[in-house]
Amino acid sequence: MLRIGVVGLRRGLTYLRLARLMEDRVRIVAACDKNNKMIDLARKEFPNISYYRSFKDLLRDSRVEAVVIATPMPLHAEQSIKCLRAGKHVLCEVAAFMREDEAEPLIKTVEETDLIYMLAENVVYTRPNLMVWNMVEKGVFGELVYAEGDYIHDCKSLNFKEDGTLTWRGRIRRELTGNTYPTHAVGPVAKWLGIGVKDKFLELASFSSGSRALPLYVREKFGSSHPGSDRGFWRQGDMVVTLIRTEQERLILLRYDTASNRPHIPTTHHLLQGTKAAYLSPRWSGDDPLIWIEGESGSDWENLWRYAERFEHPLWVEKAKGLGHGGGDYIVFSEFINSVRTGRSAINVYEASAWSMIIPLSKKSEESGGKPVKFPEYLWIY
C-alpha cells in the first residue's frame, strides 16, 4: 500500500478519483493547493484526506511516501527536486521541466536519492499506442525508420483568465517560441524507438508559422484594446514543427498546435514507419487506426483492431478506457505504483528529460532561425 500526496488539485483530482479504483495498492493521504476553492471542492468528494495550502506542509507530512506533482508546468522541476530531497518518490505530470538548466539538477537528484521518479506521460499508454509498442517489440515493424507525433488541440481559452489577463499558459505563449508541450507527441514514439535504451536523439530543428488564430480570438473575445489582439504580442506561432534526428538515422516529426481553429478530437496523432509495417492513427472520431503489415495485409491498409487479439499489450485493461486520456491516466498511475514496488521507473528521469528537453532546444533552434541544435550527452546512460 503506497501512501500518496497530491500537489495541485485542478489536475490532481483525477488521481484522487483513480486511487479509489486501486484501493488495494494505493491510498491518497494528503493533497495541497494554494487555492482554497479547489480544496473545498476536493474535500466534498474526499473528506478523509489531509489538505494543505502549502507545498512545504505536504512535504513535512511523514505519512506521504510518494508525491504526484500536478501543478503548472513551470513548477515541475523545482517541486520534483524538493520532493525527492524530502525522501519521497515522484510521479510528475508533463513536462519534467521547461528550462535546459533544470535537467541536470533533476537527474542528479534522482541518482543521489535513489528514489523513483516517473513522468506521468499518459499517451504512451493509450490502447493503440500500447498495441503498436507491443508489435514493435515483437518485430512486426522490422527496423524502424520514421515516426510522427502530434499534439493538436485548440486550447486558446486556457491562455486567459475571465478578465483577459494571462494564465501561466498564456505567459508561455507570449514569452517562448518552439514546442512547449512535446511529451504527448514524442512519448509513445520514443518508447517505440527505444530512445534512451538503444537509440538517442542527436539533434533537432524547429520551425513555426506566424501567430494568427490567437490574436484573432483575442480581438473577438476581449476587443482590440487587449494587447494580445496584436500578432506581435505572441512569440509562439500557431503551428510549430520540430524534426529530430536520432543516432540510428531515424527521423521524428513533431507537430504542436494549440491555437488553430479546428476540431481537436483526437488531440494526438501518431505514425510509425518500419521496414516491414506501418501505422497511421485516426484523423478524427470517424476514423479507425490503420495498420499495414508486410506479408499479412495485402495491398491496402487494415483496421488496427483486427490485430487486437494477437497484439493487445499486456498492460492494457479494458476498464481503463473511460478513465481519462484514452485509458492512459489509469495505466500511468498503475505503472507508477508498480515502479515504486519494483524499483524500476516505467518512464525514468532520463527519458523524461530527453522528451522535455525538446522545449528549450526547440526554442533555441527557432531563435537561431531554424538551425539544428544538439541534445546534451548527459541524457544518455545506455
Residues that bind a second copy (rule: CB under 8 A) add up to a total of: 52
Taking the complex as a whole, how short is the minimal distance between the CB of residue 134 and a second copy, in angstroms? 20
Taking the complex as a whole, how short is the minimal distance between the CB of residue 244 and a second copy, in angstroms? 9
- Which one, of 264, 170, 181, 254, lies nearest residue 217 by Cα? 170
- CA–CA gap between residue 287 and residue 93 (Å, rounded): 29
Rounded to a whole number, what is the distance in angstroms from the first to the last CA of the chain? 32
Q: Per rule CB under 8 A, is residue 265 in the interface with a second copy? A: yes
Choose between 40 and 287: whose C-beta lies nearer to a second copy: 287
Q: Per rule CB under 8 A, is residue 219 in the interface with a second copy? A: no
Region near a second copy per CB under 8 A, out of 29-37, 97-105, 205-213, 311-319? 205-213
What cell was used for 334? 498503475
User: Do the strands 251-257 and 50-52 form a parallel or antiparallel pair, or are they unpaired?
Assistant: unpaired
Q: Per rule CB under 8 A, is residue 299 in the interface with a second copy? A: yes
- CA–CA gap between residue 159 and residue 250 (Å, rounded): 35
Q: Per rule CB under 8 A, is residue 155 in the interface with a second copy? A: no
| CB neighbours of residue 216 within 10 Å | 15
User: Binding residue for a second copy (CB under 8 A) from 257, 329, 335, 351?
Assistant: 257
C-alpha of 217 from chain center: 26
User: Do the strands 144-152 and 201-208 form a parallel or antiparallel pair, or are they unpaired?
Assistant: unpaired
| CB neighbours of residue 85 within 10 Å | 13
User: Binding residue for a second copy (CB under 8 A) from 205, 352, 357, 379?
Assistant: 205
Q: Per rule CB under 8 A, is residue 306 in the interface with a second copy? A: no
User: Binding residue for a second copy (CB under 8 A) from 137, 276, 324, 380?
Assistant: 276
Q: Per rule CB under 8 A, is residue 114 in the interface with a second copy? A: no
- CA–CA gap between residue 259 and residue 239 (Å, rounded): 8
Judge contact between 335 and 315, C-beta under 8 A: yes
Region near a second copy per CB under 8 A, out of 93-101, 114-122, 157-165, 272-280? 272-280
- CA–CA gap between residue 212 and residue 215 (Å, rounded): 6
- CA–CA gap between residue 276 and residue 291 (Å, rounded): 11
User: Binding residue for a second copy (CB under 8 A) from 87, 310, 371, 382?
Assistant: 371
Region near a second copy per CB under 8 A, out of 120-128, 171-179, 191-199, 288-296? 288-296
Sheet with 240-246, edge to edge strand ranges: 302-303, 290-293, 277-280, 268-274, 144-152, 251-257, 240-246, 201-208, 373-374
The count of residues in the chain is 382
User: Binding residue for a second copy (CB under 8 A) from 248, 324, 338, 376?
Assistant: 248
Taking the complex as a whole, how short is the minimal distance between the CB of residue 374 and a second copy, in angstroms? 10
User: Binding residue for a second copy (CB under 8 A) from 1, 158, 251, 381?
Assistant: 251
Taking the complex as a whole, how short is the minimal distance between the CB of residue 150 and a second copy, in angstroms? 11
Choose between 110 and 131: whose C-beta lies nearer to a second copy: 131
Bridge partners of 352, per DSSP, are none
Binding site for a second copy (CB under 8 A): 142-143, 145-146, 203, 205, 207-210, 212-213, 216, 237-239, 241, 243, 245, 248-251, 253, 257, 260-263, 265, 273, 275-278, 280, 283-287, 290, 292, 294, 297, 299-301, 369-372
